[in-house]
Structures are given as C-alpha cells and as structure tokens.
Amino acid sequence: MGLVQFQQLRYFAAVAETRHFTRAAERMHVAQPSLSQQIRSLERELGAELFHRTRGGIALTDAGEALLPLVRRILADTENARLAVQETVQLRRGRVRLGAPPSLCVSLVPDVLRAYRARYPGVELQVREDGSRDLVRTLADGELDLALIITPRSGELPALDVTELLHEDLVLVSAGRAKRRRARIEDLREQPLVMFREGYDLRETTLAACRAAGFEPSFAVEGGEMDAVLGFVRAGLGPAVLPGMVAARSGLTVTPFAGPGLARTIAVAHGRDVPLTRAAGALRDTVLTHLADADRAGALPPGTRLIPAG
C-alpha cells in the first residue's frame, strides 16, 4: 500500500458509508468523476475491486468489507494525531521541565507557576530543585527545558542561552531584635551562623565574603536545606544569610547589609542548541511578565531590582 494516498482512503470510507458515489462526492466536496477516478486508482493499487456496482446501487465486496475497518482505524488515528498536535501548539497539552534552586522554589517559583497554571491548565509541570551548578549541567545535558539559576561570578555559561532577570540583595535574618539597622560582613565574625549544606550558592557566597574580610566564620549548625535553615533560625540557634525574597516571607527579623553588601543575580536559562518548546517558551514569558508586573506594582522586596531587558 506504499502508493495508496490518504485522500483515496477518505473517499473510500465516504462511499462505503453512503453507498452512493454522488452523495459521497457531495460529502467530500469534490466532483463525482474525480472521486470515482480515485476509487478506481485505489482498486488498481490494491489489486481488488472494493465495490459491486449495480443499477440498484453499490455494495462492498469481500475485499471492501475487509478494508473498511482498517481504513476507519487509520482515519481515526490520523485525526487523533492532528488533535494532539493542535492541542500542543495551542498549549492545551504539553510538558515543561523546570529547574530552580531551593531559595527560588520557596519565593519566586510558586507565584510564577500559579500564574502559568491558571492560563495553561493542561500543561504538565515538572520541577527539579537543585543548586545552580547542578542545574546548569542538567540543562546542558537536555534533562531540563528551562531553569532559573544564580549566575556564577565568572559569568561564563557557553552552553546556555541566559537572560538576567534580577539583582537581589542578601540579608541577615535572625529570631531576635536586630542589634543594628544595617549589618556588616565583619559582624559575622562575632556570632556562629546557621549555614546551608555544601553545594548551596548561598553558602559559597557567604564564605567568600567572610574570607575576603579576613576571617573564617563559625557555625552554630550547618548542613540544612532551606526549610531547615529557616527552622533553625526561628529556634534561635543563630542568624543566617538569606536572599531578600526569601527573607521577606520568613517572618524573621531582617537586617540589610551595609554597602557594598552581598548580592546575587538571578537569570533564566535554557540550552543554546535546543529550541524551546512552545510550553517552555510560554513559561519563560510568564516569568518575565510576572516580574515586570511585580516591579510596576512595587511588590518586589527591598534590595531586589529588575534588570532591564536588553
């Protein structure tokens, strides 16, 4: 059946269902001689007559009876495929694999996913929570469609297409009343910190700042994930250095650092050699729109600044 045309199968099904060439031609919006010619071509390709043609009408031959359920299945499968593609193009279905560090999973990501889900409820969302260095590697390997990352100090990510979104100040959070209106890096020498586990960008940034100030910080407790660190600070075990967006939702006492302080840059990234799917592209657009709306509404926390596009 290599030379059988799909249109011939549609014409065959129409004739089989109407038992009439003229009515079938009307249903298919084609001239009756053209439809009859296509049916004869199909019969030649298959090497068998498909219809008994009589004065009283037409009827399926044994070959036609055998072919009809197969053709109906082909037409149904083709229509299902067309609908599936159309739904994906129109974002009624699809999948997005998003990566984000834990600090963004408890601050920015929930609001973005709520907005995306409201607009595209049929798209499946998969979230991978990991450190930025691991997310960069996972993106490059094609295991994620999109990721929110903290850009490295070197700024070199050759395998990725990166768009910087926000500058975010890091702040000191504690359970008690702040001793000063603004903290200094040197203040971290005086009190043991609640510290994240190894692999967290926040740990590396804090340690680098302390070492640049000439000291090695001590830890009251270390090794926690984001939720654990917040819990340890609430329990009064010590202060921690957190992103401004997380601190603003924490209910803890927030003390900004005196300039130049500590900060990080948040970006959205995807593989440079892998085009974004429509679903992933729509999620990227949702991130940009959400941040622009929050900036216009003055809803970004103090010390969090939108990076202008371009």
pLDDT digits (tens, 9 = 90+) for 88-128: 677 878 889 999 999 999 999 999 999 999 999 989 999 99
Mark whether 186 and 280 lie in a shared domain: yes
1 inside domain: no
Provide CB contacts within 8 A for 309, sequence distance 6+: 163, 288
Asked, for residue 201, whether it belongs to a domain, the answer is yes
In this prediction, what percent of the chain has a pLDDT beyond 70? 96
310 band by pLDDT with thresholds 50, 70 and 90: low
pLDDT at 273 over 60: yes
Beta strands at 253-256 and 160-174: parallel, antiparallel or unpaired: antiparallel
Whether 113 and 38 map to the same domain: the answer is no
C-alpha distance from residue 51 to each of 3, 32, 73 (Å): 20, 16, 20
Residue-range definition of the domain harbouring residue 247: 94-306
Q: Please tell me the distance from the alpha carbon of residue 302 to that of residue 207, in angstroms, as a whole number.
A: 23
Give the three-class secondary structure for 214: coil
- If you count them, how many residues does the chain have? 310
Judge whether 189 lies within some domain: yes
Average pLDDT over residues 152-174: 87
Could you tell me if 219 and 184 lie in one domain? yes
For residues 20 and 139, state if they share a domain. Answer: no
Longest dimension (CA), the chain: 105
> CATH number for the domain including 125?
3.40.190.290
- Clarify whether residues 262 and 203 are in a common domain: yes
Same domain, 66 and 104: no
Q: 211 pLDDT exceeds 80?
A: yes
122 and 208 in a single domain? The answer is yes
8-state DSSP, 257: B
Please report, to the nearest 10 degrees, the dihedral formed by the alpha carbons of residues 267, 270, 271, 275 taken in order.
-140
Mean pLDDT of the chain: 90
Domain stops at, among 47, 74, 89: 89
pLDDT band at 135 (very low <50, low <70, confident <90, very high): very high
Section 224-229 average pLDDT: 92
Q: What is the pLDDT of residue 155?
A: 64
Helix ranges (DSSP H) in 173-309 = 201-212, 226-234, 244-250, 278-296
Residue 131: how many CA atoms within 13 Å on its side-chain side? 14
Query: Do 208 and 235 share a domain, yes or no?
Result: yes
Say if pTM beats, i.e. exceeds, 0.85: no
pLDDT higher than threshold 60 for residue 202: yes
Q: Are 246 and 107 in contact (CB under 8 A)?
A: yes
Q: Tell me the three state secondary structure of residue 196.
A: strand
Is residue 270 located within the same domain as residue 154?
A: yes
Q: What is the reported pLDDT for 24?
A: 92
Q: pLDDT tens across 170-180, in order?
A: 999 999 887 78
CA triple 91-93-99, angle to 5 deg: 85
pLDDT single digits (tens) 1-50: 456 788 999 999 999 999 999 999 999 999 999 999 999 999 999 999 99
- 104: in domain: yes
Higher pLDDT, 216 or 201: 216
Residues 74, 165, single domain; the answer is no
Number of domains the chain contains: 2
Among 89, 110, 133, identify where a domain stops: 89
Q: Do 144 and 205 sit in the same domain of this protein?
A: yes
Closest to 254 (Cα-Cα) out of 171, 164, 160: 171
Q: CATH no. for residue 84? A: 1.10.10.10
Residue 243 resides in a domain: yes
Structural domain contains residue 13: yes
Same domain? 177 vs 237: yes
pLDDT above 60: residue 58: yes
Please determine, for residue 267, whether its predicted confidence score (pLDDT) is greater than 60.
yes
Please state, for a pLDDT cut of 90, what percent of the chain lies above it. 67
* 260 prior amide bond cis, ω within 30: yes
Strands 304-306 and 160-174: antiparallel
Chosen domain end from 54, 89, 124: 89
Average pLDDT over residues 208-220: 95
